[in-house]
Amino acid sequence: MNALKTLARPFSALEGQVVFYMMPYTTLRWQILLKAFAEIVPRDDWEYAESIFVLFEGNIVDMEFAWNEQATSQSRAYEVYWQGRTGNVAQDWALFLSVFAPDALAVLSQAYDATRDTVLVNPNGASEDPEALASTATGL
């Protein structure tokens, strides 16, 4: 078992066909990804897809799939992406753009929102808002 999965929170989507396991708090991995991705797509050029890519990739730990007869090609895109990831930010971004439809981004956003740890208190009193975190992390 992935040791990080013990820290992650699950989010079930698509009637239980996909379960996302995401870190419930911002990690250093997310900050490193944010910086690396900003070198590929400048932060000022980010739109919804770019933000979702960073939130998803920076927090995802694992995914599980249980397809049924109602599974569509669009819903199977999650598995294609998960299995095709390379760890190279530029390659993973290109795959992300190739397999996901705009509706899929909303599911990724829901997974992120649903797995946030609301019990942890930021010791510096800073916001846990992804946009606020992104603006502070760019100075790293």
- Supply the pTM of this predicted model: 0.81
Residue given tokens 């066909």 in the structure block: 17
State the greatest distance between any 2 C-alpha atoms of the chain, in Å, as a whole number: 48
Q: Specify the 3-state DSSP secondary structure of 35.
A: helix
Dig out the tokens for 9 from the structure: 């929170």
Whole-number average pLDDT of the chain? 87
State the average pLDDT over residues 111-131.
Answer: 70
Residue 38 has pLDDT above 50, yes or no: yes
